[in-house]
Amino acid sequence: MDNKKKLTRTHEAKERKYVEGKLVSELKKMGVFNCKGNPKQLRGFPDRMVFINQKIIFVECKAGAEFGSYYRQTELQKRWQKQIEASGCEYKIVEGTSGVKSFIEELKKEIEIYGKTYCF
């Protein structure tokens, strides 16, 4: 049996916010525009919207196993993912700081290949 203590919802939310903050910090360093994507009225909507190279990437942040989180994507979040992808946009789930690192590396590769374009 795993001795890791599972997080409560309150602690999971705190760890998820830490992961989201780490993502925002890294995007800011790169000069990539992003904004909070989850208005209170839209439950299940992704946490961040990242604008890069004439596209929007919707990002859902999860604390992940590194923080002992057992929370996964909810059914409502899965429905949003389906709608977003059907609209031709990208949807990413970023789990923990390792997920942030992987996502940032993906963006860096894209910028290296295509450059970085802005709408404003």
User: Is 4 a domain residue?
Assistant: no
Number of domains comprising the chain: 1
Q: How far is CA 72 from CA 51, 75, 77, 105, in A?
A: 25, 9, 10, 23
Question: Nearest CA to 94 among 52, 119, 57?
Answer: 57
Task: Locate 113 and state its tokens.
Answer: 């290949």
pLDDT digits (tens, 9 = 90+) for 59-92: 999 987 776 666 788 999 999 999 999 999 999 9
* CATH code at position 41: 3.40.1350.10
Predicted local distance difference test score (pLDDT) of residue 3? 41
**pTM as predicted:** 0.83
User: Is 3 a domain residue?
Assistant: no
pLDDT digits (tens, 9 = 90+) for 8-65: 666 667 888 889 999 999 999 998 999 998 777 888 999 999 999 888 999 999 987 7
**Average pLDDT over the chain, rounded to an integer:** 85
pLDDT digits (tens, 9 = 90+) for 17-29: 889 999 999 999 9
Q: Domain span at residue 26?
A: 9-114
